[in-house]
């Protein structure tokens, strides 16, 4: 029986001093993986890329995924120190604002978000709609560090999927979002506005230069023709050995052509035009109008 249409939770335990406990929570509607990264000593945790569920047929929201994540936090005796996102997601709506309100923890994303907001502000013809500095408590730049309990985490700028995507590295765990997929799948797309295939190659090479035992936690999984169970963890060494797109010895020009040819066949995610308009507000809906309802603005014949 396929587990790709079920919520799945797995624990990747700490390997010892300086190594975090990691829980991955699979969200089946979008194939997204949400994470809890926790210090085993202090029980402080960061929530990473948590989903606010969105039904694109009826334009309704629900909180099942973030509720599940917070239930895991409570069940494991954790306290939330950070609410983190790796980039403004195109395929799901982020739970950042809601989790900040529910936990009291600061929320954060990459420092290049204002540049991404500028691109999409033009696409939506909403030049003044987005103010990342107001909607996020921290905008992390390349090389910045912060603490999750006694663990130090650092930020790597990892552009390509978006121009401002970031990777969080905490001990022997790295949350690499939409750069790599699982080794049997390969890599992620780079064709959204502001994306760059060449930049994504460089970002992936920087990730694969981490120590070989580093656990890489990807942002999405959709299974394969032969694998019907979601996966999201593999080591740097495993990717270098068998990644379908970028294993050791892959030539840059060959990968760029393969990635661009593949991206040319891909449709937009069905949630993108709604999701980005909300995610660029930190996961908040637009201000309600005089009837008490919030409305989204969607460009017609733009893509």
- Residue 63 inside a domain? The answer is yes
The region, left, alpha or beta by phi > 0 then psi within -120 to 50, assigned to residue 51 is: beta
Residues in the chain, pLDDT under 70 = 1
pLDDT tens by residue, 86-123: 999 999 999 999 999 999 999 999 999 999 999 999 99
User: Is residue 246 one of the residues assigned to a domain?
Assistant: yes
Q: For residue 61, is it within any domain?
A: yes
pLDDT at position 2 is: 76
For position 46, what pLDDT does the model report?
98
Q: Is residue 282 part of a domain?
A: no
pLDDT of residue 4: 85
What are residue 67's phi and psi, to 5 degrees? -65, -40
- Tell me the per-residue pLDDT of 154-179, one tens digit each, with 9 for 90 and over: 999 999 999 999 999 999 999 999 99
User: Which of 119, 141, 143 is CA-nearest to residue 129?
Assistant: 119
Residue 170 lies in a domain: yes
**Is the distance from CB of 9 to CB of 24 less than 8 angstroms?**
yes
Tally of structural domains, the chain: 1
CATH number where 219 lies: 3.60.15.10
Distances in whole angstroms, Cα of residue 50 to Cα of each of 19, 55, 178, 262: 21, 16, 14, 27
Predicted local distance difference test score (pLDDT) of residue 3: 82
Would you say residue 302 lies in a domain?
no
For 231, the domain range is 8-276
């Amino acid at each position: 029986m396929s587990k790709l249409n079920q919520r799945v939770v797995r624990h990747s335990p700490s390997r010892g001093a300086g190594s975090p406990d990691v829980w991955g929570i699979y969200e089946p509607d979008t194939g997204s993986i949400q994470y809890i990264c926790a210090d085993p000593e202090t029980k402080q945790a960061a929530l990473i890329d948590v989903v606010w569920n969105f039904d694109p047929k009826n334009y309704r929201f629900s909180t099942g995924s973030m509720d599940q994540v917070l239930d895991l936090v409570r069940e494991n005796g954790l306290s939330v120190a950070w609410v983190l996102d790796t980039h403004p997601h195109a395929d799901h709506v982020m739970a950042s604002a809601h989790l900040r309100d529910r936990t009291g923890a600061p929320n954060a994303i990459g420092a290049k978000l204002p540049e991404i907001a500028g691109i999409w502000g033009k696409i939506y013809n909403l030049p003044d709609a987005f103010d990342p500095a107001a909607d996020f408590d921290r905008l992390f730049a390349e090389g910045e560090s912060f603490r999750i309990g006694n663990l130090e985490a650092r930020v790597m700028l990892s552009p390509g999927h978006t121009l401002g995507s970031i990777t969080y590295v905490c001990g022997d765990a790295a949350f690499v979002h939409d750069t790599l997929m699982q080794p049997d799948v390969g890599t992620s797309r780079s064709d959204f506005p502001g994306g760059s295939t060449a930049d994504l190659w460089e970002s992936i090479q920087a990730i694969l230069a981490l120590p070989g035992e580093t656990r890489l936690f990807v942002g999405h999984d959709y299974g394969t023709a032969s694998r019907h169970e979601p996966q999201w963890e593999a080591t740097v060494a495993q990717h270098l050995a068998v990644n379908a797109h970028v294993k050791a010895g892959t030539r840059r020009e060959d990968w760029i052509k393969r990635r661009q040819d593949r991206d040319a066949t891909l449709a937009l995610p069905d949630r993108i035009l709604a999701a980005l308009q909300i995610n660029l507000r930190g996961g908040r809906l637009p201000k309600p109008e005089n009837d008490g309802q919030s409305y989204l603005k969607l460009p017609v014949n733009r893509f």
